[in-house]
Amino acid sequence: MSLESLLREGLTALGLSPDAAELMCRYARMLLERNRVMNLTAITSEPDVARLHFLDSCALTALADFHKKTVIDVGTGAGFPGLPLRLVEPSLRLTLLDAQRKRVDFLRSVCDTLELPDVDCTQERAEAYAAAHREQFDVTVSRAVAALPVLTELCLPLVRVGGTFLAMKSVNCDGELSAAAHSIETLGGRVRQVADYVIPCTEIPRRLIVIEKVRPTPDAYPRAFGKIKKNPL
């Protein structure tokens, strides 16, 4: 099946308009092309990019509301899950944040090509970015960046009270979730839902941990990354 057909089938299965498949194809081809000369993703076949990057990202639309939300994707890498979400939900106001310059440069070129001038692509570490953007987002989302006790300190300070932190994890994350209980509580969060789903057009199970922000994060957090890593809450 072609890249576009696979994306169309997956988007339709999610109850989304398949029209976004065309822009996703352009983005996927830019990713695979650029990946030949710089390391952007370990996923290198068109069907795998369609399923494991695009459809996994879009699957979140069945589990969370992104309409008119301010969303930050922390450690977005080559743009996942944030950019596919923006393609299927144009009202979403998106910031793509990553520590690596080459990845952010790639994202800027994708946003230029797809004519998405409103997407903010920023190169900075999340714990530093929080100094000027604390509690400013409705939703923080993150996939494949760090274990949950560390990830929570990178992500939860950016979420406004009443907003949500969405952590995309494997289904084997029970230990991580238990280990993060103290971190989530200390940083002002509460686990609202642990939602299992299957990536469309696959049999691959995935898990979304939905953490609501119920109190402001104390000013002492986030700490410098060395401290977060050495001594997770």
User: Which parts of this chain interact with ligand SAM (CB under 6 A)?
Assistant: 74-77, 80, 97-100, 103, 125-127, 143-145, 154, 225
Residue 231 is given by DSSP the state S
Shortest reach from residue 6's CB to ligand SAM, in Å: 18
Per-residue tokens: 214 = 């119920």
Contact between residue 137 and residue 174 where contact means Cβ atoms under 8 Å apart? no
**CB of 35 or CB of 100, closer to ligand SAM:** 100
Q: List, in order, residues 6 or more apart from 217 with CB less than 8 Å away.
A: 134, 135, 156, 157, 187, 188
**CB of 80 or CB of 137, closer to ligand SAM:** 80
| Residue 109 CB neighbours (<10 A) | 13
Instruction: Quote the CA–CA distance of 50 and 34 in Å, as a whole number.
Output: 16
- Chain centroid, CA 81 distance in Å: 4
Consecutive H or E run containing 163: strand 159-169
Which residue is nearest to ligand SAM, using beta carbons? 77
**CB of 63 or CB of 144, closer to ligand SAM:** 144
**CB of 11 or CB of 80, closer to ligand SAM:** 80
Shortest reach from residue 78's CB to ligand SAM, in Å: 6
Shortest reach from residue 106's CB to ligand SAM, in Å: 10
Shortest reach from residue 105's CB to ligand SAM, in Å: 12
Shortest reach from residue 148's CB to ligand SAM, in Å: 14
**CB of 99 or CB of 156, closer to ligand SAM:** 99
Instruction: Quote the CA–CA distance of 94 and 138 in Å, as a whole number.
Output: 11
Consecutive H or E run containing 193: strand 189-198
Per-residue tokens: 162 = 């009443």
